[in-house]
Structure 1
Amino acid sequence: MAPALIFFVVFVIYPIVVSIRTSFYNYDGLTVATPAGLSNYVNVFVDPDLRAALLHSLLLLVFYSALPVCIGLVLAGTMSRIRVYGLTVFRAVLFLPQILSSVVVAVAWRGLLASDGPVNGVLEHVGLGSLATSWLGNFNTALPSIGIIGTWVEYGLCMVLFLAGIVTIDRSLYEAARLDGAGPVREFFAVTLPALRPQISIALILTITFALRNFDLIWNTTRGGPGTSTTVPSLFVYLDAFQNRELGQASALAVVLTIIILIVVAIVQVAVREPSGRPRPVGAERGTR
């Protein structure tokens, strides 16, 4: 374990410690750092632009986490019940967005959502030309458009996690549920969904973390614009550190963002954790006798 532990300490633990220490100084990376006390942390909470960026990240949670999990559940539940030739290829295609580079995804969607792009072309073709707009350049549509891109990227990961979980479910539970008269929908909510609690927890943690630390998709599509309509905290971390040369402020924001992610992940783990004494799924007793 020593090599992995050394790597972890050098490239994870040590940078975290340095960032925490730097957050209490005014430092531009070149001159001597001067103590700043808690002023960098105070600026994080009083700056209206940073508060707006945090709100944007919370809104993106709906697109980056809630929607992918729901879509993944629907796809996994459907695929577990049907037997279609070439289904493996279909699953691979649905998972493809997850393995693509974020830069490739951003550039592709930037072209799709351009004012003269295919999306507006389709709207014009079907008689909905009045809805056509510059999706990433409009103050009202830029943030939802980035959210849709995140949904497209993340749902494949959720689907694969849920398919892996469904395979481990005891088939006798489904048979018992059918004997009790449960249809496909009732069977899903009574048997499949309760059994997927561990996979749902993992999917939520991964997607929420991705949403709160997201940088590359936004930087390569809108760079926080138009105006500040798509700014997120990680964007300010980059700007403060590498453009404004305010490493202390950037470190403080990074520390606060990390704490927020840890708190949200802890809440998810508690909320999704299987309660003790939970009623057994429909037909569970009959299926085990």
Structure 2
Amino acid sequence: MTSTPVAQRQDQRLSPSRGSRKTRRGAWLFVAPAFIAYAAFVLVPLAMSLYYSFLRWDGIGEARFHGITNYVTVLTDPKLLQIIGNAFQLVAYFTIIPVALGLAVASVIRGHMAGPFGTATRTILFLPQVIPLVAAGIAWSWMFASTGVVNQGLRAIGMSGWARGWLGDFVWALPAVGIIGAWVLLGLCTMLLVTGITKIDPSLYEAARLDGARPWHEFRYITLPGLRQEIAVCVTLTVISALASFDIVYIATQGGPGITTTVPGLEIYRLAFAHRQVGLASALAIVLMVLVLISIAPIQWFAREKK
């Protein structure tokens, strides 16, 4: 007995079509390589770090369960707290300086994007992004040395009293590292903001000028709201760079003098490979990850489109 056309159409609606199943299977095949790589290089190491953080282990001998003692140490040890504080101090340099200067540059060259001035400015400011961080750290170490370019310039303009070994000074070492990081990140922030400012309708600026708005009003009421997404991206990237910094600090100061420039990334390396305290290093890494997530969560909320 053959089914009626109406029954056939009902069966087709109730059972998934072969095309739909093939589409889902194909989607999973495309996603699988990326997911496997992500799991192998992110999820599995994260799970292992979380497991190690509850152990007392030197990386070679027998591992013993240590409970939350490693986390208590991270959150109560004055030295580790100072190290975490150093990373948050770097946020002021890694984030505020590049984003503020990037906004200023983007506003200045907004009307000269296609001209030689805009092209030259973008090229010069983006150069730090193509220089390896190791090379940048070495170059700035020479510049901040006692006989480096910075001190020579200060002496040349009659400010010899300010000349010092910047990276070896207990007060100025961390700001000097922050300046290096700000220089490295300036090009990235500038390019993102310059790209974002091109999407703002030029007629808004023209209408503001016709209404008598000054440049500051244009910047405040047109440029800043129009670049909310780009600013959030810049702040997110720079905050993560500050809290997870390692390369520049290791090359420029190796955490000295004392621990004035030691950051969590460098301390995790030392604890794990120099002091053989894998459990404590893992606990510090997990705490650092949580701090990064807590720090960028408000930024992501700010970046959401307001309805």
TM-score band w.r.t. shorter chain: over 0.9
Structure 2 contact 177–249 (Cα < 8 Å) conserved: yes
Q: State the match for 1:106 in structure 2.
A: 137
Q: State the match for 2:9 in structure 1.
A: none
Deviation at 1:32, TM superposition (A): 1.8
Deviation at 1:47, TM superposition (A): 0.9
Deviation at 1:181, TM superposition (A): 1.3
Tell whether 2:25 aligns with 1:21.
no
Structure 1: state its 5+ residue gaps.
277-289
What is the rounded CA distance, in whole Å, between the counterparts of 1:214 and 1:115 in structure 2? 25
Tell whether 2:273 aligns with 1:242.
yes
The SS at the match of 2:168 is coil
Q: State the match for 1:284 in structure 2.
A: none
Tell whether 2:290 aligns with 1:259.
yes
Deviation at 1:87, TM superposition (A): 2.8
Q: State the match for 1:12 in structure 2.
A: 42
147, 158, 182: which one aligns with 1:151: 182
Deviation at 1:59, TM superposition (A): 1.0
What is the rounded CA distance, in whole Å, between the counterparts of 1:110 and 1:11 in structure 2? 33
RMSD: 1.3
Q: Sort the Cα spacing of 1:2 and 1:274 in 2 relative to 1 into closer, same or farther, 3 A.
A: closer
Tell whether 2:62 aligns with 1:32.
yes
Q: State the match for 2:100 in structure 1.
A: 70
Larger radius of gyration: 2
Range with greater deviation from structure 2 (264-273 or 151-160)? 264-273
73, 81, 98: which one aligns with 1:51: 81
Deviation at 1:270, TM superposition (A): 2.1
Structure 2: state its 5+ residue gaps.
1-30
Deviation at 1:220, TM superposition (A): 0.6
Instruction: State how 1:101-180 maps to structure 2 within 5 Å.
Output: 101-180=132-211
Instruction: State how 1:175-194 maps to structure 2 within 5 Å.
Output: 175-194=206-225
What is the rounded CA distance, in whole Å, between the counterparts of 1:89 and 1:81 in structure 2? 14
What is the rounded CA distance, in whole Å, between the counterparts of 2:150 and 2:233 in structure 1? 33
Q: State the match for 1:89 in structure 2.
A: 120
What is the rounded CA distance, in whole Å, between the counterparts of 2:232 and 2:139 in structure 1? 30
Identity %, equivalent residues: 43
What is the rounded CA distance, in whole Å, between the counterparts of 2:137 and 2:146 in structure 1? 16
Aligned partner of 2:237: which letter? L
What is the rounded CA distance, in whole Å, between the counterparts of 1:99 and 1:241 in structure 2? 31
Aligned partner of 2:43: which letter? I
The SS at the match of 1:136 is helix
Q: State the match for 2:236 in structure 1.
A: 205
Aligned length, in residue pairs: 276
Query: Runs in 1 of length 4+ with deviation above 4 angstroms?
Result: none
| CA displacement 1:12-51 (0-9 Å, x = unmatched) | 1110011101111111111121100000101101111111
TM normalised by structure 1 equals 0.92
| CA displacement 1:223-266 (0-9 Å, x = unmatched) | 11111111111111000111011111100000000000001000
Q: State the match for 1:42 in structure 2.
A: 72
What is the rounded CA distance, in whole Å, between the counterparts of 1:104 and 1:224 in structure 2? 18
The SS at the match of 1:224 is coil
Deviation at 1:89, TM superposition (A): 2.7
Deviation at 1:82, TM superposition (A): 3.7
TM normalised by structure 2 equals 0.87
Q: Which has the higher helix share?
A: 2
The SS at the match of 2:256 is coil
What is the rounded CA distance, in whole Å, between the counterparts of 1:82 and 1:93 in structure 2? 15
What is the rounded CA distance, in whole Å, between the counterparts of 2:236 and 2:166 in structure 1? 29
Deviation at 1:272, TM superposition (A): 4.4
Range with greater deviation from structure 2 (201-210 or 23-32)? 23-32
Aligned partner of 1:245: which letter? R
Aligned partner of 1:219: which letter? Y
